[in-house]
């Protein structure tokens, strides 16, 4: 029987699951060949020989190989896979679709909980959704979640808000510094801010969480999800494979 489970095999490194959105050492970010693009009486930032994949949502996206080779780079997010996961609601751990993995229309989000606050209604996030089964696996094995704690919530709606990326000077194309609170050096730019968006090289897609219900029992949610998937695939189970 064909496996119709939305949960994909998870990649491991040294016994620890590696999220789908994590960058690997052979996906080193190349020099971004930036140019000024003049089109329809407007001037904006672009990439030399830019492809359709590299310009989406009206903004240029960081070039980055997609090979998943070498060693995982914890904490470094792959620009294309993060965007795909956000745009298509793919699980940040296994990369499989989260839409339809539950009986209802809610989507699960999981985050490290360093300061003790839960995911809130109206909060913006750069972290894609996750299957409940994958969330349980991550909480058991991923060091940041084990050591810092975690927070999770079911979310009803996830409208796209904007991007995180590097902002460039329209005249010199020099990269502009970000606010001190953003240690990654990136700006957070809403899609409504057209002047800044035109000069942003995006690296992550940002969504807003609306209709939020906190989750404290991942085991119960994972068991429920497994049963829903099994029922839909006529007895075919789901598994997280190394």
> In this predicted model, what pLDDT tens digit does every residue of 193-236 receive, in sequence order?
999 999 999 999 999 999 999 998 999 999 988 887 777 765 44
Whether 18 has a pLDDT exceeding 90, the answer reads: yes
Helix (H, G, I), strand (E, B) or coil at 68: coil
- Token pair recorded at residue 39: 């089109």
Give the CA count within 13 Å in the CB-facing half-sphere of 72. 15
Give the C-alpha distances (Å, rounded to integers) separating 11 from 110, 161, 229: 19, 30, 21
Strand partners of residue 11: 18
CA distance 39 to 30: 26
Better-predicted residue by pLDDT, 196 or 181:
196
Q: pLDDT confidence of 65, banded at 50, 70, 90?
A: very high
Residue 241: pLDDT above 70? no
The pLDDT of residue 147 is 82
**Crossing angle for the helix pair 132-141 and 218-232, nearest 10 degrees?**
140
> Are 198 and 41 a contacting pair, CB within 8 Å?
no
What are the φ and ψ backbone dihedral angles of 148, each rounded to 5 degrees?
Answer: -100, -10
Residue 2 has pLDDT above 50, yes or no: no
Residue with tokens 């995180």: 164
Alpha helices in the chain (DSSP H): 79-88, 132-141, 143-148, 194-197, 218-232
**Who contacts 198 (Cβ-Cβ below 8 Å, separation ≥6)?**
42, 43, 44, 45, 59, 170
Helix, strand or coil, per DSSP, at residue 222 = helix
pLDDT of residue 41: 86
How far apart, in whole angstroms, are the C-alpha atoms of residue 238 and residue 98? 13
Most distant CA pair in the chain, distance: 61
Report which of residues 210 and 115 the model is more confident about: 210
What is d(CA 240, CA 148) in angstroms, rounded to the nearest whole number?
24
pLDDT at residue 4, rounded to an integer = 62
- How big is the chain by its Cα radius of gyration, in Å? 19
Q: Please write the tens of the pLDDT for every residue from 119-175.
A: 999 999 999 999 999 999 999 998 888 888 899 999 999 999 999 999 999 999 999
Q: How many residues does the chain have?
A: 242
Pick 59 or 144 by higher pLDDT: 59
Residue 28 DSSP class: P
Per-residue pLDDT band at 116 (split at 50, 70, 90): low
Mean pLDDT, to the nearest integer, of 25-38? 95
When pLDDT is cut at 50, 70 and 90, the band that residue 114 belongs to is low
Going by pLDDT thresholds of 50, 70 and 90, the confidence category of residue 91 is very high
The mean pLDDT value of the chain amounts to: 89
- The whole-angstrom separation of Cα 57 and Cα 206 is 12
pLDDT band at 239 (very low <50, low <70, confident <90, very high): very low
Q: Is the pLDDT of residue 101 over 90?
A: no
- Report the percentage of the chain scoring pLDDT > 70: 90
In sequence order, which residues have a C-beta less than 8 Å from that of residue 32 and are 6 or more positions away? Answer: 47, 62, 63, 201
């Amino acid at each position: 029987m064909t496996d119709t489970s939305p949960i994909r095999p998870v990649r491991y490194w040294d016994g620890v699951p590696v999220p789908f959105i994590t960058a690997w050492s052979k996906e080193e970010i190349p020099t971004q060949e930036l140019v000024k693009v003049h089109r329809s009486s407007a001037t904006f930032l672009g990439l030399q020989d830019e492809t359709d994949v590299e310009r989406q949502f009206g903004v240029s996206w960081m070039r980055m190989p997609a090979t998943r080779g070498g060693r995982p780079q914890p904490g470094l997010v792959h620009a294309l896979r993060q965007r795909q996961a956000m745009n298509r609601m793919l699980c940040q751990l296994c990369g499989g679709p989260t839409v339809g993995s539950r009986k209802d229309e809610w989507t699960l989000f999981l985050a490290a909980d360093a300061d003790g606050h839960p995911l809130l209604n109206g909060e913006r996030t750069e972290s894609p959704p996750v299957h409940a089964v994958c969330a349980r696996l991550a909480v058991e094995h991923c060091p940041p979640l084990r050591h810092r704690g975690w927070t999770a919530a079911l979310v009803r709606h996830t409208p796209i808000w904007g991007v995180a990326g590097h902002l460039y000077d329209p005249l010199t194309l020099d990269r502009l510094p970000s606010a001190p609170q953003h240690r990654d050096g990136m700006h957070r730019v809403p899609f409504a801010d057209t002047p800044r968006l035109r000069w942003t090289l995006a690296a992550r897609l940002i969504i807003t969480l609306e209709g939020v219900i906190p989750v404290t029992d991942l085991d119960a949610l994972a068991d429920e999800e497994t049963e829903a998937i099994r029922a839909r695939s006529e007895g075919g189970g789901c598994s997280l494979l190394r």
